[in-house]
Amino acid sequence: MTQVRFRVDFAAGCSIGPGKIELLEGIERTGSLRQAARGLGMSYRRAWLLLDQLNHAFATPVTTATVGGAGGGGAALTPFGAVLIRTYRTLDHDVQALAREVLAPIASSAKRGSPSKARRRPNPQRRRLSRAGAADRAE
């Protein structure tokens, strides 16, 4: 199956892609940044950083947060956040349809059952550099 993953860059430091959209959808579903992150297999810190970037990237925030207490804290989408998800998903649907149509001749020659990601070989140079860097920092 041919699938395209894409990111939309609105301006420098202002982009939206499948990961951020999935995070917003998780917040919409669970009402919690922590639960949304857990559902995506993402650390809470990484999720918080992505959400903070999103909330500052646009003139209108995409979420609101409530501080913990007796009922616990939470997160909710703003109306703008809901529009952002809906707009991205509409575009995604159209891009997927176009990709299937345009790439069909190429996709038909793809080997079935091939690994989706190439296995990376370890880079010994990287290991040496990281050890040297650690020694420099220890001094």
pLDDT tens-digit series, residues 41-50: 999 999 999 9
Cα separation, 23 vs 32, whole angstroms: 10
CA distances from 56 to 15, 52, 60, 61 (A): 11, 6, 8, 7
Would the pLDDT of 137 be above 50? no
CATH of domain 8-111: 1.10.10.10
The b/e string for 37-64 (b: 16+ C-beta within 10 A; e otherwise) is bebeebeeeebbebbeebbebbeebbbe
Give the closest residue to 91 by CA, choosing from 102, 80, 99: 99
Over the stretch 54-76, which tens digit does the pLDDT of each residue have? 999 999 999 998 876 666 678 99
- Check pLDDT > 70 for residue 39: yes
98-130 pLDDT, tens digit per residue, is 999 999 999 888 887 756 655 556 655 555 555
Q: Is residue 132 over pLDDT 90? A: no
Domain residue extents for the chain:
8-111
